[in-house]
A and B are shown apart, each in its own frame.
Chain A
Amino acid sequence: MSLLNLLLLILVVAALGYFIGRSRALKSAKGDQAALHSRPHHYGWNVAIFASLPALLVMVAFVLLQALVVPNSVLKEISPELIESTGSRSLVMTQVQTISNGLEAAVENGLIAEENIATLDVQTADVRALIQEAGVVLGADVNAEMLESAKTLKDRVKKWSFIRNILIVVISLAGLIYAIIRTNKDFRARNVVENSIIALLVAAASIAIFTTIGIVLSMTFETLRFFELYPASQYFFGTQWAANFRGGSALGVLPLLWGTLYISLIALAVAVPIGLFAAIYLSEYASPLMRSVAKPTLEVLAGIPTIVYGLFALTTFGPFLLGLFGKGGALGVEWMADGRSVLTAGIVMGIMLIPFVSSLSDDIINSVPQAMRDGSYGLGATQSETVRQVILPAALPGVVGAILLAASRAIGETMIVVMGAGATAAIFYESPDRFINPFEIMTTITTRIVAQLTGDGAFNSPETLVAFALGLTLFCLTLMLNVYALYIVRKYQERYV
C-alpha cells in the first residue's frame, strides 16, 4: 500500500469514526441532545481526531526515520572501491536510489515480474534499457554491485513499508476503539476538540519559528566553516571585494555593505515621501470614489515581480538617466558612463516600495480615531494643520513600522540591483568618487550571494562559503531593523493613543 492510499484509509476510518461517535453519543442520551455534555458533532470530532491524529503523527515520524535509516544501512554495505570509482558516497547513493526507483517502476508497468528481479543480472539483461523503458532515466550504465545494492534497498524499503502500514492501521483502529469506548453522554468531548484546535494552532506557529531557527543555525554553521578558511577580521573590515574562483580572493564585506545601504537609502528617499504623501491624500482628501479607484491601482505596483522592475531599470530608466547625465546628454554634463548606476537601481527600487509605504500608512492613518480630527477641526484648524499636527503624530509608530518594513525589503532586494546597478562592488581605495558618486556602478550583498552560489563550485572554498556569511550579515541587518521598528512602535504606542 502506498503512502497516499494509507492516508486515504486513515481519513476513511476517521470519517467513519465521526458518525459512529456522533450516533453513539446520541444513543447514550436516548436521542435527547440537551442531555449531552457537548454538542453531538463534538463527539464525532473527538472520535475522528483519535482515529487519525496519532496515526498521522506516527506516519510522519516513521517516514522520516525510514528515509534516514534505510539508505544508510544499504550505503554501509557498499564497497569502498565503488565509492572511489564513482566519486563520492552521495553520488553512489543517488544512483542506487534511481535504479531502485526504476526497478519499482518497471514492476508497476509490467515490464518485469516481481519475482524475477532477484535473478536480474547485468550480464544477461540490459538493466539501463529496462529502467529507461519504465520512464526513469539513468546517467550511466548499471554495474553489478550497484544493481545488487538497489535490490537490497528495494527489499528493505518494502519490508519497512509493510511494517509501517500494519503499525499505522493498528494505531488508527486502536484510537478509534478507545475513543468510541469513552463516548457517552457525560464525556466532555467539547474540551477535547477545543484542545486539539489549540494544538493545531500551536503546531502551525512552532513550524514557522523552528524553521527560522533552523535557517539561522544552518547559516551559522556554514559561516563558522567560512571563518576557518578565511580570517574573520578581513571579512568584517576588508575594504575590497574581489571574488576569484581560482583562489586568493579579497572578501571584505564593507564595499557590499556600503552598496546595500547606499542603494536602500536612495530607494527610501524616493519611496517614503511619495508613499506617505499618497497615503495622506488617499485617506484624508480623496473622495470615496477616488479612493476606491486609486488605492487598488497603487497596490498593483506591489504585485509586479521585482524582475520586471529590474527590466524597467535596465531598458528604460537607466538609458533615460544616461540620456540626461551621460556624455552628450540633455544636461550637457558627463557624470554617467553607464545606464546602470546606484541612482538607477535606487530610484526604481523606490518606485517598487511606494505601495508598501502608502498602503500600510494609509491603513494606519485611517485607524486614527475620527474624534482626533473632529477635535482639531472644532478648534478651527485647517485640514493640513490637522494632518501635520494631530494625525501624523498619532500615526507615527505605524508609519515608522511601514518605513522600516520597506527598508527591509530594500535591503533584501536582488533583481533590481543586478539589472539596475551592475555587479561590481564599490571600490574604496581608488578615489572617493568611486564609492560616493551615485552615478557609479555598485552592487549589494544579495547579488553577491547569488553570484557566489551559482556555478560549479563545491561548498568547500571560501569563495562559495562566503555566501553564508553574507546571508547571515544580511539577516542580522534586517533583524536589527525589525527590532528597532518594534522598539519605536512600543516606545510611542504608550504616548500616542
Chain B
Amino acid sequence: MTSKHDIDTQYNDNQTRDLDMNNIKISAKKVQVYYGDAHAIKDVDVEIQDKTVTAFIGPSGCGKSTFLRSLNRMNDTIDICRVEGEILLDNENIYDKRVDPVQLRAKVGMVFQKPNPFPKSIYDNIAYGPRIHGLAKNKAELDDIVEKSLRRGAIWNEVKDRLHAPGTGLSGGQQQRLCIARAIATEPEVLLMDEPCSALDPIATAQVEELIDELRSNYSVVIVTHSMQQAARVSQKTAFFHLGNLVEYGDTGQIFTNPQDSRTESYITGRIG
C-alpha cells in the first residue's frame, strides 16, 4: 500500500506539471460511436497522458472496448461501425481524412484479449511489424530489434533458444507476452490493451502486469480490464464506463478510495456490474 501511496503522490506531482508541460497524449472530445443504430459510446471526453497507465473499467457491454478500439481506428474494419467527434493524438485528429489508419495503427499499437500470435515462428512474429514498416536496414538490425523487443516483453529468456519454433507452440501467458513484444517491436507511442490478461492464469497475469508497469517508462498504455484489482495494481489513471457513458475519470487511488459518482461506488463495491 505504501508503494501505491507513493505512486499517487508522484502522480499528483505529475499532474501539477501537466498544465505547463502539456503531456497529454490522446484527447477525446464528444466522441460518439454507433454500431448500426445502436449508440454504443455517448459523449465521451477524456484526456490520456503520456507515460502513464490508464485503465478503463466498467461492466460488460459498457463500451470500454469499443472506445479503446476507436483510439487506433480498429473499428474501421467493422462495416456498420461509425465514429463521430474528435480524437486528437498529439493534437492531430485521427479521424481526419488526411490520416492514414494504417500509419496510425503503427503509432498506436494494440494487444488483444486472446493471445493471437501469427502462425509463424517466434522470430517472424516479432519481425512482422518492423519488416512491414521498414524499420531495419539489414538482418543484423532486425535481429537486434527482435531481441530488444523480446527482452522488453520479458520473454527473451524463455524463447531465446527457439526463436524459429512456431509462436503458436508457446503457453498462453508466453503467447500474450509475445504479442506484447510484437506490438512493441513497431515502436508505437501508445499501447492499447484490450483485457490482456483475461485468458491467462494468475502467474502469467502477474508477469504481464509487471511488464505493463515497466512499459510505462516509454509508452502511454491504455488497458481495458474487468478486474478492478488489476486496474488498481497497474494503473495511475482510471476511467469508469457505464452504459456507453464515461461516468468518472481520475486518479486511480481516488476512484477506488473516494469515488465521486454513486454509480462508480456501486460498481467498485460490487453492487452493479
Contact = CB atoms under 8 A, between A and B. Distances in A.
B77 A497 contact: no
Interface of B: 72, 74, 77, 79, 102-107, 109-112, 114, 116-120, 128-129, 132-133, 166, 168, 179, 182-183, 186
A496 B119 contact: yes
Given A287-B79, A369-B116, A393-B120, A378 B102 contact: no
Contact of B118 (A287, A288, A380, A390): A390
19 contacts: A371-B114, A371-B116, A372-B116, A375-B179, A376-B118, A377-B77, A378-B72, A378-B112, A379-B110, A379-B128, A380-B104, A380-B106, A380-B132, A381-B129, A389-B118, A390-B118, A495-B168, A496-B168, A497-B119
Interface string A354-396: 0000000000000001011111111111100100011001100
A380 B116 contact: no
Given A385-B132, A389-B128, A379 B116 contact: no
A380 B119 contact: no
A490 to B, nearest CB: 15
A439 B118 CA distance: 45
Interface residues of A, number: 23
A380 B129 contact: yes
A377 B179 CA distance: 13
A393 B74 contact: no
Contacts of B111: 378
B77 A373 contact: yes
A299 B109 CA distance: 40
- Nearest 4 pairs between A and B by C-beta? A380-B106, A378-B110, A371-B116, A496-B119
Contacts of A369: 116
B133 A380 contact: yes
Given A380-B186, A381-B102, A375 B112 contact: yes
A376 B133 CA distance: 12
A392 to B, nearest CB: 11
Given A377-B105, A378-B112, A389-B132, 18 more contacts: A371-B112, A371-B114, A372-B116, A372-B119, A374-B74, A374-B77, A375-B112, A379-B129, A380-B106, A380-B129, A380-B133, A390-B118, A390-B119, A393-B119, A495-B119, A495-B168, A496-B119, A497-B168
Contacts of B112: 371, 374-375, 378
A497 B114 CA distance: 14
Given A371-B114, A374-B116, A495-B119, A380 B102 contact: yes
Nearest to B118: A390
A390 B186 CA distance: 17
A369 B168 CA distance: 13
A379 B188 CA distance: 9
Q: Which secondary structure characterizes the binding site on chain A?
A: helix
Contacts of B116: 369, 371-372, 374-375
Contacts of B105: 377-380
Contacts of A393: 118-120
B166 A378 contact: no
Contacts of B77: 373-374, 377
A376 B74 contact: no
A288 B79 contact: yes
Contact of B102 (A287, A382, A394): A382
A377 B106 CA distance: 9
Contacts of B129: 379-381
Contacts of B182: 375, 379
A381 B74 contact: no
A312 B182 CA distance: 53
Contact of A379 (B79, B106, B114, B120): B106
A390 B120 CA distance: 8
A378 B101 CA distance: 10
A309 B133 CA distance: 47
B119 A379 contact: no
Which of B112, B116, B128 gathers the greatest number of chain A CB atoms within 10 Å? Answer: B116
Interface string A454-497: 00000000000000000000000000000000000000000111
B127 to A, nearest CB: 11
Nearest to A389: B128
Contacts of A389: 118, 128, 132
Nearest to A381: B132
Contacts of A379: 105-106, 109-110, 128-129, 132, 182-183, 186
B74 A377 contact: yes
Nearest to A374: B112
A67 B269 CA distance: 84
A209 to B, nearest CB: 34
Nearest to B165: A495
Contacts of A495: 119, 166, 168
B207 to A, nearest CB: 20
Contacts of A497: 119, 168
B119 A394 contact: yes
Interface string A385-417: 100011001100000000000000000000000
Which of A288, A375, A381 gathers the greatest number of chain B CB atoms within 10 Å? Answer: A375
Contacts of A375: 112, 116-118, 179, 182
A380 B107 CA distance: 8
Contacts of B107: 380
Contacts of B179: 375
A437 B143 CA distance: 49
A496 B121 CA distance: 10
A287 B80 CA distance: 11
A389 B106 CA distance: 17
A380 B128 contact: no
Contacts of A376: 118, 128
A65 B182 CA distance: 71
A379 B106 CA distance: 5
A215 B273 CA distance: 65
Interface string A199-240: 000000000000000000000000000000000000000000
Contacts of B118: 372, 375-376, 389-390, 393-394
A376 B117 CA distance: 10
Contacts of B183: 378-379
Contacts of B132: 379-381, 385, 389
Contacts of A372: 116, 118-119
A376 B111 CA distance: 11
Contacts of A496: 119, 168
A390 to B, nearest CB: 5
Nearest to B119: A496
A375 B111 CA distance: 8
